[in-house]
A and B are shown apart, each in its own frame.
Chain A
Amino acid sequence: MKKGDRYYSRPGRGMGFNNLTIRDQEALLRRQFARDRKALRLLSDELRNQAIHGFRIGLTVRLEGSDVHHDVPRLGELILLCVLSKKARESLPGDLAEEFAEIVLKHGLRKARFWYWCQVVRSIGPLVRLGLVSSRIALRLTPVIEFSTEQRATGERQKHHAMTDDEISEAGRKARFERWEKLGLDAIRQDLATGGHRLVGGPPQVRELAREWVKMKEAEQEVDARAVLRALGVAPAPSVEDILSGRDTALDELVRSAAPPSASIPASGQEAPAPPAPAVSQEKRAELVTLRPNLYGIGIDLKELARRLRSWLHRRRGKPS
């Protein structure tokens, strides 16, 4: 039986279709299929247009919220900042952001990001060739460093209530003082002698603060010790500075206690208008040993030494100097 002679019976089709030859049936079906496919394509296009339209509406709403520029690749922007002049540093990234927003609207975020990076890579060449960078690349990096440092500092400042980098807040100062109190003066002093990185830590301002704290504590301790010695009736030992400067603080204390309360005794090292006690000799006030910024770091006044020796010998012989 030949294929062309057969009649196909299709359910749902009229008798006219069933009476056709296979060839005619195929031609008819092909035409119908082409028509259906065209309709389907039109429907698909319409649906796609609707989807794009919806996507655009969504993006437009997002654009109105003006946050598309947040999706701009920040690293790319920073790279561009390195090679741009001061004037172009604002305008070119702005132009890129504007175009970026439009591409996001048309093609989506991924394509827009790709486009942005392409622009960055392609822009570096002409800008470098122009000589915007040339030998001043280090200077060009400065705004980027400033930019990032400023961004970080702004964030930190917002956290710590408008405190700049050079400042230590009052709360921070108190907290540090309490911690150092717990650790002890000796421990902090030793740590500072070795750089202050183990216990004190922090930026240089903190170590400076620690040095101030140590000085303050030492002064407090000295005052306390003197008060205790005075209460016990023991003359306090002269400090190293007093020994080096030839100052006799114990003698000063004795003079001060022996003098009547109305008489004002000048502090040691100052010229008195009318010396009340001849025991306080002004000759001793000259410095025997001086610290000098030279190779040896210390200098001895030989004349002063000889004079002191002479006066000592005179005193031993019982003669006035």
Chain B
Amino acid sequence: MDRSQLLRGTLDAAVLAVVAEQDGYGYDVLRRLRGAGLSDVGDASVYGTLRRLYGGGALTSYVMPSDEGPHRRYYGITDLGRAQLDEARTTWGDFAETLTGLLETVEVTA
């Protein structure tokens, strides 16, 4: 199964989940996604997704001075983002359950 195809449909939820846990800046979000096991997530995908979620109102953003180097743009989750995350949880839960059931059934019969 092509993981990149799966990621494409689920990255919004993953990013929302990471930011909901703790506010973060772009590279920080990327690192935490990778740390959580999505090692093959693309840099550009994460940055693009952050901007799109921010543009759609699911994320808020603010600038924080950093100790070393330039100021960093942090993203935090909004109420809208939280609602989207809840919806994604439900959708994914149902989907994963269904697919898991399907795959196990097929494996048994085969």
Task: Decide if A and B are genuine partners.
Answer: no
Using a CB–CB distance below 8 Å, which chain A residues touch chain B? none
